[in-house]
Amino acid sequence: MAATSGNRQFRYYDFVMAAYVCVLLCSNLIGPAKETTIEVPLFGSVTFLAGVLFFPISYIFGDILTEVYGYGRDRRVVWAGFAALAFASLMAAVVVHLPPSASSAANQSAVEAIFGNTPRIVVASISAFLCGTFVNSYVLAKMKIWTRGRWLWTRIVGSTLCGELVDSVIFYFAAFYGRMPQAHLVAIMFTQYALKSGWEIVATPLTYRIVAFLKKAENEDYYDTDTNFTPFSLQA
């Protein structure tokens, strides 16, 4: 289906946007609060932040949005997510730095441990999210044109590998470069990259089902043939 009017109304677009922002906020605010170690067959002990289990869901939503509704509508959702993350980070900083009451002073250290991310971590996280998500969407939209809408799995996997790589490199180097040995930093970065990418690849059958449902329900299958791919726009 060719490009459609930006004023068109969709039944499920708003729900997908809300779910995307919810997952993004939860994975960035709740996920980093705990580091976990699990035993993986053939690989042994693997340590990672719990958010790694949930953050890739936002990329799945990004794939679905771009595949069904197009890059422009996904771009609007990405900026909505960015605004939510920025506000949540500001709110967390204010809450952490407000003086505690006498009755809650004992809990201040726990609040700081959970919500007290440094400005460097916050900037690294938001920057990585924006860059990685836009790369993911751009690659998928272009691959859809190149493949003429065939082989959905190739663009799901291809866009994920590109987007997650950009996200991981920017975040880990911006957040931790100079704080740990470079070899250790690279090892952690690629471990997280493999986990996040692998998660999304495993979820490909589910992505197929959701995409098929939405294309039929919305009567939409957008091709970004005339799209302006600048990320700095809210035009659908």
Cα(186)–Cα(156) distance, rounded to whole angstroms?
25
Q: Which domain holds residue 40?
A: 13-100+109-218
Tokens 């900026």 correspond to 79
- Residue-wise pLDDT for 65-99, tens only, equals 999 999 999 999 999 999 999 999 999 999 999 99
* Residue 4 within any structural domain of the chain: no
* Residue 1 within any structural domain of the chain: no
- Residue-wise pLDDT for 152-210, tens only, equals 999 999 999 999 999 999 998 998 888 888 888 898 888 889 988 998 889 999 999 99
Q: Is the pLDDT of residue 3 over 60?
A: no
- Asked if 162 and 136 touch (Cβ cutoff 8 Å), the reply is yes
Q: Which secondary-structure segment (H or E) carries 189?
A: helix 182-202
Cα(129)–Cα(124) distance, rounded to whole angstroms?
8
Q: Of 209, 207, 220, nearest to 12 (Cα)?
A: 220
Q: Of 155, 130, 38, 131, nearest to 79 (Cα)?
A: 130
- CATH code where residue 82 lies: 1.10.1760
Phi and psi angles of residue 98, each rounded to the nearest 5 degrees, phi first: -65, 140
* Residue 7 within any structural domain of the chain: no
DSSP 43-94: TEEEEEEGGGGTTHHHHHHHHHHHHHH-HHHHHHHHHHHHHHHHHHHHHHHH
* Residue 8 within any structural domain of the chain: no
Q: What is the pLDDT of residue 6?
A: 57
* Residue 224 within any structural domain of the chain: no
* Residue 47 within any structural domain of the chain: yes
* Residue 228 within any structural domain of the chain: no
Instruction: Provide the CB-side half-sphere exposure for 136 (13 A, CA).
Output: 33
Based on the structure, what is the number of domains in the chain? 1
* Residue 223 within any structural domain of the chain: no
CA–CA distances in Å: residue 204 to residues 19, 145, 174, 207: 18, 20, 30, 5
